[in-house]
């Protein structure tokens, strides 16, 4: 993986574990020679990931909608900052620029990005790994929900391993690097569906 899209929140929760972990993630990716593609903001976990990667000499590409640039939340110290018109364009650029997707804690925007990365993988729009770092148990309930989707039958067994979950960044990145793409829905037979 040359670049990973990192999905995370622009908020700064009171518990320092989230910001500290985000900064460490940016640094770790840079130390592994993996560039960061992210939402282009300077606030919250987004800014911490970018700052961690930049401090370690890493490449950081931000992709931000015009409305957020105009709200003065853009990070101006990045390797490059791309301005797009819509959130749809932003997510498409994440996919074009990245070799994988890493979700760390965040809110509804982060969930939107994670679900789209999973959905696009399931369909076959990309074949890159989708990782979820479960920081401080933040995603315990989401992981349980994904398991429920699989148990009930709304998530096919062929696609259950699209989401790679771990609570250790090093292990997660190793598992993402070893990811073997599944058969996407677009290439499945009627019997397989």
Radius of gyration of the chain (CA): 16
Q: Residue 190: exposed, middle, or buried by beta-carbon count in 10 A (0-12, 13-18, 19+)?
A: exposed
What are phi and psi for residue 169, nearest 5 degrees?
A: -60, -45
Per-residue pLDDT tens over the stretch 96-148: 999 999 999 999 999 999 999 999 999 889 999 999 999 999 999 999 999 99
Both tokens of 178, joined, read 């070893």
Nearest-10 crossing angle of helices 169-177, 16-31 = 40
d(CA 59, CA 185): 34
* Inside any domain, residue 46: yes
- How many CB atoms within 10 Å of residue 31? 13
Both tokens of 162, joined, read 């699209």
| Whether the predicted pLDDT of 180 surpasses 80 | yes
What are phi and psi for residue 36, nearest 5 degrees?
A: -105, 130
pTM for the full predicted model = 0.94
Range(s) of the domain holding residue 159: 3-187
Q: How many domains does the chain have?
A: 1
- How many CB atoms within 10 Å of residue 132? 24
Q: CATH number, domain at 100?
A: 3.40.50.450
Share of the chain above pLDDT 90, in %: 86
Per-residue pLDDT tens over the stretch 86-95: 999 999 999 9
* Inside any domain, residue 192: no
* Inside any domain, residue 95: yes
Both tokens of 101, joined, read 């997707």
d(CA 43, CA 23): 12
* Inside any domain, residue 130: yes
CB–CB of 25/49 below 8 Å?
yes
* Inside any domain, residue 110: yes
* Inside any domain, residue 193: no
| Whether the predicted pLDDT of 84 surpasses 70 | yes
d(CA 127, CA 129): 7
Residue-level pLDDT at 188: 67
Residue-level pLDDT at 187: 72
* Inside any domain, residue 123: yes
* Inside any domain, residue 178: yes
């Amino acid at each position: 993986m040359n670049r990973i899209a990192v999905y995370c929140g622009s908020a700064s929760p009171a518990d320092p574990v989230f910001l500290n972990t985000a900064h460490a993630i940016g640094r770790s990716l840079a130390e592994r020679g993996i560039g960061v593609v992210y939402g282009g903001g300077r606030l919250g976990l987004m800014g911490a990931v970018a700052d961690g990667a930049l401090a370690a000499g890493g490449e950081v590409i931000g992709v931000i909608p015009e409305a957020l640039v105009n709200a003065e939340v853009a990070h101006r110290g990045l390797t490059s900052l791309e301005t797009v018109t819509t959130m749809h364009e932003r997510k498409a650029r994440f996919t074009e620029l990245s070799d994988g997707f890493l979700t760390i804690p965040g809110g509804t925007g982060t969930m939107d990005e994670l679900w789209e990365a999973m959905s696009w993988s399931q369909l076959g729009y990309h074949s890159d790994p989708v990782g979820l770092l479960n920081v401080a148990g933040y995603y315990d309930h989401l992981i349980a929900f994904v398991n429920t989707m699989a148990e009930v039958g709304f998530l096919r067994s062929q696609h259950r391993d699209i989401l790679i979950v771990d609570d250790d960044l090093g292990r997660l990145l190793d598992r993402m690097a070893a990811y073997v793409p599944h058969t996407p829905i677009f290439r499945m037979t009627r019997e397989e569906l």
